[in-house]
Amino acid sequence: MKKTCIALAVLAIAVIAGIGSGIAQAPADKVVKLDPALDALISVDAKIEKVASGFGFTEGPVWVQRGREGYLLFTDIPGNKVHKMTSDGKVSVYEDQSGYRGPWNGWTMLTVGSSTPNGPFIMIGADGLAVDPEGRLVLCAFGDRALERVEKDGKRTILADKYEGKRLNGPNDVVVKRDGTIYFSDTFGGLRNRADDPNKGLERNGFFMLRNGKLSMVVSDMKTVNGLALSPDEKYLYVNGGGENYIRRYDIQPDGTLANPKLIIDLSSDKTPGATDGTRVDSKGNIWTTGPGGVWIVSPEGKHLGSILMTERPANLGFGDSDLKTLYLTARTSVYKVRVNTPGIPCPACSRSAGTN
């Protein structure tokens, strides 16, 4: 009887810790395989390396390839900067005042940008990044509450800051199709008190399309929104529900609008800390998304194949290096990388420079 009681106690502790949920909790970063198909995507013994640290809150990783050379761009949101990291690990400032360019007065600084729930930072900088077909950097600017672009001469262009006469609240993440169509999410991230802020413009979160200079809301029925990603053939757009932890897939119509929403995976049953924040798709159509415990790797059909467990919670991710077989993870104060077996999708202008920096 005593041994039985001990065994039951151990089982109870395991369940509470999440061991019975399909993803074991781990004190160290590691890859967990739930399906044999994971082997083609990432090895279970893949090493997760910290390559840069000392930031406020990192986000928006995007790889820019220039011939044989390339570099990673990522944001430090409270630092209000886009950083550039070369393949040898050297980090430099690529774009200053990335998400907020003023005015720098006391009243404004008490209202601009959202506050982090568990830290002292004010999120005024850029969040998500993308590169358009002309090689220009597109930024989701929290503080400016706008979708912006860095031109080849370094000047900034506001692509969208209002919808139907109301201010955007905080563009969050962005992707660009090969034809130049832009999709992005708008959240309450640019507001100090988020949904309760008196300076709120739009009443709800949503996903938008910017096509031929026209801004349209293409998803309006999700309580929270965040990351998004295109399928390799650009027939589908994947969007995630932010803190509600699920991913939908939409058919992209010839005019760029979205149709036939389908729930691909619901992660909400796993109560481990972590949310569907950043999402990427590899060249075979598999979905890599931040989620409970770290990063979830999901088949195109929505099967959970395995996870990358991390002690420092990642907010976003992106494929990089010249072969696009390195997964970069922006995780709060640090940037990590891990080698994978299936490459990501090249950006629309991956052989060109993003801007002039």
Quick: pLDDT tens for 121-179. Answer: 889 999 999 999 999 999 999 999 999 999 999 999 999 999 999 999 999 999 999 99
Flag whether pLDDT at 290 surpasses 50. yes
Indicate whether 255 belongs to any domain.
yes
User: What's the confidence (pLDDT) of residue 110?
Assistant: 83
CATH label of the domain that carries residue 283 = 2.120.10.30
Can you give the length of the chain in residues? Answer: 357
Flag whether pLDDT at 7 surpasses 80. no
Percent of the chain with pLDDT over 70: 89
Cα angle for residues 76, 149, 319 (degrees, 5° grid): 55
Helices and strands in the chain: count of H runs, count of E runs: 2, 27
User: Where do the H-state alpha helices sit in 136-278?
Assistant: none
Cut 0.85: pTM above it:
yes
User: What's the confidence (pLDDT) of residue 357?
Assistant: 53
In angstroms, how far is CA 259 from the centroid of its own chain?
A: 23
Indicate whether 41 belongs to any domain.
yes
Predicted confidence band at 119 (pLDDT cuts at 50, 70, 90)? low
Indicate whether 350 belongs to any domain.
no
- As given in the structure block, the two tokens for residue 83 are 């950083």
DSSP state of 43: -
Higher pLDDT, 44 or 15: 44
Tokens 């990063």, located at residue: 295
User: What's the confidence (pLDDT) of residue 103?
Assistant: 86
Predicted confidence band at 339 (pLDDT cuts at 50, 70, 90)? very high
Cα angle for residues 149, 151, 154 (degrees, 5° grid): 110
User: What's the confidence (pLDDT) of residue 143?
Assistant: 95
Average pLDDT, the chain: 90
Flag whether pLDDT at 15 surpasses 50. no
Taken in order 101, 105, 108, 112, the sign of the CA dihedral is positive
Let me know if 18 is exposed, middle or buried by CB neighbors in 10 A (0-12, 13-18, 19+): middle
Flag whether pLDDT at 84 surpasses 80. yes
What range defines the domain where residue 209 resides?
23-339
- Domain count of the chain? 1
Give 246-287 pLDDT, tens digit per residue. 999 999 999 999 999 999 999 999 999 999 999 999 999 999
Indicate whether 265 belongs to any domain.
yes
Indicate whether 345 belongs to any domain.
no
Q: d(Cα 284, Cα 289) in Å, to the nearest integer? A: 15
Indicate whether 39 belongs to any domain.
yes
- The C-alpha torsion from 229 through 67 and 55 to 100, rounded to 10°, is -70
User: What's the confidence (pLDDT) of residue 118?
Assistant: 59
Is there a contact between 245 and 264 (Cβ–Cβ < 8 Å)?
Answer: no
> 40: helix, coil or strand?
helix
Flag whether pLDDT at 236 surpasses 50. yes
